[in-house]
Amino acid sequence: MNLKQEKIAVLLGGTSAEREVSLNSGKAVLEALVSQGYNAHPIDPKEYDVVNLKKDGFDRVFNILHGRGGEDGTMQGLLEQIGLPYTGCGVMASALTMDKMRTKILWKAFGLPVAEMEVVTRDNLAQLDPQAVVERLGLPLMVKPSLEGSSVGLTKVKSVENLKSAVEFALKFDNTILIEEWLAGDELTVPVLDGRVLPAVRIVPEGEFYDYEAKYISDNTKYFCPAGLTTEREQALAILVKQAYDAVGCRGWSRIDVMCDAKGDFRLVEVNTNPGMTSHSLFPKSAATAGISFEQLVVNILELSAQ
């Protein structure tokens, strides 16, 4: 069936901490589809029971929900149960990559480079020994929730005295917290579209790291694409990113974040299985560098939707 003859639901909004970002991404995706003659409609799961999509005549889903409830395997499972093809990763890859801790454990098992970390949960918080953590991982440290996206709940910790309060702050967002060695080098993000690694984007935030403000609000965050890497390093990064993408079972499209340590060695950070598609978003920036317009990108992602 010609996709232009299908009724397409653009899932946007939702109930996660990234709702506003998803609404913006969804608006851009919807406009791109409608402008090219697709029968696309906005569907916000906060206001509409997605179980009814097939009954209401929808044939396919462009899922641009971010965060929990849309990017963590639950929506993917529901869509498979009702028999609707959808964009992006399947149930397993979506669920796994939403959990930063287990993603990193898997990558490490494959021999791929990740930051050294300590895992803290609500249950073992009382056993946290900040001094021992600092002795093992050094200072500064990054503290982050394992299951949140869009840099929600992150703190840069510069002294042993501030570590416990940063962990307690992150525990407001999730039951599992990662304390990681600080990666002082370049911050990069690398999109993958249908197994093809697109040009890396180098991120230079105005502040000390790429937090929510830098991602979605600040106009002073700088993005460089091409990233300014040597040909050899760009190739090495592309190989690493493809290995990381395959290891967790991604399909369709995803964006993989990578940091460099003080020596310039790459460290895998996380996977975004429904990357942002807003005016500040990095997947479209990279695609444009590769000669793919925003409209072409949206249609390409739709065409990759699982059967």
Cβ–Cβ < 8 Å for 150, 112: no
Catalytic residue among 150, 254, 286, 305: 150
User: Under CATH, which number does the domain 96-113+184-304 receive?
Assistant: 3.30.470.20
59 among the known binding-site residues?
A: no
**Cβ-contact 102, 96 below 8 angstroms:** yes
Q: Is 303 annotated as a binding residue?
A: no
- Per the CATH hierarchy, to which homologous superfamily does domain 117-181 belong? ATP-grasp fold, A domain (3.30.1490.20)
Q: Compute the C-alpha angle 256/98/199, nearest 5°.
A: 10
Q: Which of 184, 206, 152, 205 is nearest to 260 (CA)?
A: 184
DSSP state, 242?
H
Under a CB-based contact definition with an 8 Å cutoff, are residues 57 and 7 in contact? yes
Per-residue pLDDT of the chain (307 residues; tens, 9 = 90+): 699 999 999 999 999 988 999 999 999 999 999 999 999 999 999 999 999 999 999 999 999 999 989 999 999 999 999 999 999 999 999 999 998 899 999 999 999 999 999 999 999 999 999 999 999 999 999 999 887 554 678 899 999 999 999 999 999 988 999 999 999 999 999 999 999 999 999 999 876 665 555 555 566 788 999 999 999 999 999 999 999 999 999 999 999 999 999 999 999 999 999 999 987 799 999 999 999 999 999 999 999 996 5
The answer to whether residues 274 and 97 touch, using CB atoms and an 8 Å cutoff, is no
Each as own residue / partner, the long-range contacts of residues 121-127 (CB below 8 Å, 24 or more positions apart, any chain) are 121/175, 121/176, 121/177, 122/171, 122/175, 125/167, 125/168, 125/171
Interior angle at CA 210, CA 101 and CA 196, nearest 5: 70
CA 126 to mean position of chain CA atoms = 31
CATH entry, 3-87, from 3.40.50.20, 3.40.50.2020, 3.30.390.50, 3.30.420.40 = 3.40.50.20
CA pseudo-torsion sign 187, 173, 22, 69? positive
Residue from 16, 18, 94, 286 carrying the catalytic annotation = 18
pLDDT at 229: 97
The reply to whether 303 belongs to the active site is no
Kindly report the backbone phi and psi dihedral angles of residue 198, in degrees, each rounded to the nearest multiple of 5, phi listed first.
-90, 170
Q: Give catalytic status of residue 151 as yes or no.
A: no
Of 201, 216, 195, 214, which Cα lies nearest the Cα of 283? 201
Give the three-state DSSP class for 203.
Answer: strand
Measuring CA to CA, how many Å separate 188 from each of 96, 243, 271?
21, 16, 12
Q: Which of 16, 281, 286, 305 is catalytic?
A: 281
pLDDT value for 150: 46
Asked if 11 contacts 43 with a C-beta cutoff of 8 angstroms, the reply is: yes
Residue 257 annotated as binding site: yes
Q: Is 271 helix (H, G, I), strand (E, B) or coil?
A: strand
Predicted pLDDT of residue 221: 81
The pLDDT of residue 206 is 74
Decide if 293 is catalytic. no
Per DSSP, the three-state class of 281 is coil
Domain residue spans of the chain: 3-87, 96-113+184-304, 117-181
Alpha-carbon dihedral sign for residues 125, 211, 109, 99: positive
